[in-house]
């Protein structure tokens, strides 16, 4: 598959943001009761984004916003998004069938839908200045025929967090006991997340905190 041209316009971005929370009802019932932070943890644990149908379509998709740091900060400040999520590389998304949505004027909506296969309706976003104006989101979508978009380490440009104490979930594994030097069972950072940068939303700006580092913690020995 051909590569997209490198970003040259200040309004474009090499990163596409998937926010894990916003000020409206979630389309995903299985995570609707989770906090945005818990949803991010779940994505990292499963190493996948779950796709869900959007209004006007039955096909599952993953939704993203083509936003650089300034654009993401604007959405976080004024559009009701939460400061939790992850940033995917634009080329990686394109290579997996993703692309910009098709914004359609409201007066053309019905005619356009009639001309398209229903399987393509998930690309459409109804656009009306008074009732349905989402142009500021600069949305991309990725069709997910099996309901999931599996993630690779090279896909993720950054994790977006609102707490500088955040760390990815851990899994059980063998770690080195600092007291004895022996291998023991403990908790260790998920391997695939290591080295991925973390951006923190401080309420005004996105600040780079550095990459995810390996954390090991031995389980306490029972007496």
Question: Would 179 be classed as within a structural domain?
Answer: no
Q: How many residues does the chain have?
A: 223
pLDDT at 183: 66
Question: Would 171 be classed as within a structural domain?
Answer: no
**Listed range (87-96, 159-168, 177-186, 197-206) with the worst mean pLDDT:** 177-186
**Residue 111: other Cβ atoms inside 10 A:** 10
Per-residue model confidence as pLDDT tens digits over 139-186: 999 999 899 999 999 999 999 999 999 999 988 776 667 666 666 677
State the pLDDT confidence band at 27, using cuts at 50, 70 and 90: low
Question: Would 184 be classed as within a structural domain?
Answer: no
**Does the pTM of the predicted model rise above 0.85?**
yes
Residue 85: which domain range?
A: 15-154
Burial of 49 (0-12, 13-18, 19+ CB in 10 A): buried
Question: Would 53 be classed as within a structural domain?
Answer: yes
């Amino acid at each position: 598959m051909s590569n997209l041209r490198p970003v040259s316009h200040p309004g474009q971005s090499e990163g596409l943001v998937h926010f894990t929370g916003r000020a409206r009802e979630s389309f995903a019932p299985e995570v609707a009761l989770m906090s945005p932070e818990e949803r991010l943890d779940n994505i990292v644990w499963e190493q996948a984004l779950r796709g869900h149908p959007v209004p006007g379509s039955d096909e599952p998709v993953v939704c993203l916003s083509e936003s650089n740091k300034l654009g993401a900060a604007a959405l976080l400040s004024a559009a009701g998004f939460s400061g939790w999520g992850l940033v995917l590389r634009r080329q990686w998304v394109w290579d997996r069938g993703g692309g910009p949505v098709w914004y359609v004027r409201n007066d053309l909506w019905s005619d356009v839908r009639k001309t398209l296969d229903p399987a393509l309706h998930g690309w459409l976003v109804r656009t009306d200045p008074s009732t349905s104006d989402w142009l500021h989101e600069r949305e991309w979508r990725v069709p997910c025929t099996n309901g999931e978009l599996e993630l690779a380490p090279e896909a993720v440009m950054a994790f977006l967090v609102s707490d500088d104490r955040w760390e990815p979930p851990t899994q059980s594994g063998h770690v080195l006991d600092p007291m004895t030097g022996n291998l023991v069972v403990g908790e260790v950072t998920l391997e695939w997340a290591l080295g991925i940068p973390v951006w923190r939303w401080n309420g005004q700006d996105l600040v780079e905190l550095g990459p995810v580092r390996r954390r090991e913690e031995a389980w306490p020995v029972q007496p």
